[in-house]
A and B are shown apart, each in its own frame.
Chain A
Amino acid sequence: MNVLEAAGIVSGYGDLEILHGVSLSVGAGEVVAIIGPNGCGKSTLMKTIFGLLTPTAGTVTFRGADITGQPPHAIVGQGLSYVPQADNTFLSLTVQENLAMGAFLRSDTIAAQSAMVYDLFPDLKDRRGTKVSALSGGQRQMVAMARALMLKPQLLMLDEPTAGLAPVFVETVFKRIAHVNAQGIAVLMVEQNARMALEHARRGYVLADGENRYTDASSALLANKEIARLYLGGDL
């Protein structure tokens, strides 16, 4: 059964329509990548699924329940977590306080969940009392993911998790995503770094101009010369 099902999503900002009817699904425990050129609506799709934007048409179904148009604070309690691309940490709070905010809806589980999350992100454990503003970009991205895992989500949505990171951290982020997925958590990610994203995903969606262009297993997308030329930065 699919964890997430988005059907015929039409959405945008005010009068500006960006998505003209996009559909996608994520199976339980699956890693799915959304790729496509800049401005094709990848982030808009994420925001619409998470209730930050309200679609003008289409439905979002999470674990069989219709969550279309629900506010984020209602959605996050149902097992769906989201890490936005920018501004995805509380800079003036410590690492541990960021995690506590991630579990705001279920404060009784903070201790147990923190321990679990520090196991996934061991580098953060020593810095639990440090303000996030004092951390490097790569470490901040870890904090952002760690915060989103505090409510034991069934699906983690990541918007450009490697944007602006040094190559050494890009590798680490993908490794951590694999670790998270090994816990049985499904991952839906939007990535600029399309080739690496597909290499770490089971399936991929190619969006262009606010519409579905291709949908296939990652290996098939990676093998497709047309896609490689248009979206993966030349064929290898």
Chain B
Amino acid sequence: MIALVVDGIILGSILSLGAVSLTLVYGIVRFANFAHGDLMAVGAYVAFFCVNTVFAALDLPAATFGPLSFGLPMLLALPLAMLATAVVAVIVDRLVFRPMRRRQYAPVMFVIGSLAAAFALRALLFIIWGPEFHFFTQALRPALQLPYEIRVKPDQIFIMAACLSMVAGLYLFLRRSRLGQALRATADNPDLARISGIDTERMMVWTWAIGAAMAATAGILLGIDAQLRPEMGWNLLLPLFAAAILGGIGNPYGALVGGMTIGIVQQVSTAFLLPTYKPAVAFVILILVLLIRPQGILGSEQRGF
């Protein structure tokens, strides 16, 4: 049981990182971005391309870091993939959402637009890398045996630490930096932000870039833990939304709590139910929370974070 909770925390960290970035984007662009999962996949594939194609050809030292399954190439690929995914998201905004903003489309049209972007991105991954599974590495790493029958791979400890420090970093960025405060101000009251001299179109670009970079990281970590497939992000989209809504949509700190909750509950449920029912469990929780506390665990009645 404790072992399942630990598994849940690892899954929950990745879900949290995805949900936090999803909800950050939602808070500013004000629509549910259905392409978020596929941005995760784009990030993972760009990192795969860097590590297994470019860096392999460059003969970069491939030695792994201690017990971890990856080494220097992955560490270099991470920022490159974050940057590339950010650029992809900003391009999608330019091509799809900005023209819609100019013409003042209804919010539902933006959601449909993001759905179209999601399909397009995934199709691109299929075309370039094909439908088969890819692995960052084929090497097997032994899991650490801890008391209470807990088995954790060193990679998974890294994943957890990376997710949590990234969310903590976002928190500090939003609180302390001038740009972060301006993003919060834009989420809180876009009209007043413009009146204060904040160029909200530029804030939109920053939001897409930061949200996509975080999504890319979540995708890469998921790829390290499991494998890469073009649908890897799309399949995670519903749990991500469940986590974001659970914590109160538009509230990044709530998304952290929501991601952990969904991750732990899904894994613990496998002690009683077939693993096939895992996604259903997430939704039972979501429905229960919506019935009891429609504003989410931490709430989002008011705008802003």
Contact = CB atoms under 8 A, between A and B. Distances in A.
Interface of A: 50, 52, 71-73, 76-77, 82, 84, 87-93, 97, 100-102, 104-105, 107, 133, 147, 151
A167 B182 CA distance: 34
B189 A91 contact: yes
A72 B185 CA distance: 16
A91 B197 contact: no
Contacts of B196: 73, 76, 101-102, 104, 147
A205 to B, nearest CB: 22
B188 A90 contact: yes
A91 B302 CA distance: 8
B194 A93 contact: no
Contact of B192 (A71, A77, A88): A88
Chain B interface secondary structure, helix, strand, loop or mixed? helix
Contacts of A133: 302
A151 B195 CA distance: 12
B198 interface: yes
Contact of B189 (A72, A76, A90, A97): A90
B193 interface: yes
Contact of A101 (B182, B191, B199, B303): B182
Contacts of A77: 197
Contacts of A100: 178, 181
Which of A93, A97, A104, A105 is the most central at the interface, judged by chain B CB atoms within 10 Å of its CB? A104
Given A87-B191, A107-B178, A93 B198 contact: no
A77 B195 CA distance: 10
Contacts of B302: 91-92, 133
B199 A84 contact: no
Contacts of B181: 93, 97, 100-101
Contacts of A87: 189, 191-192
A43 to B, nearest CB: 13
Contacts of A82: 195
A37 to B, nearest CB: 25
B184 A92 contact: yes
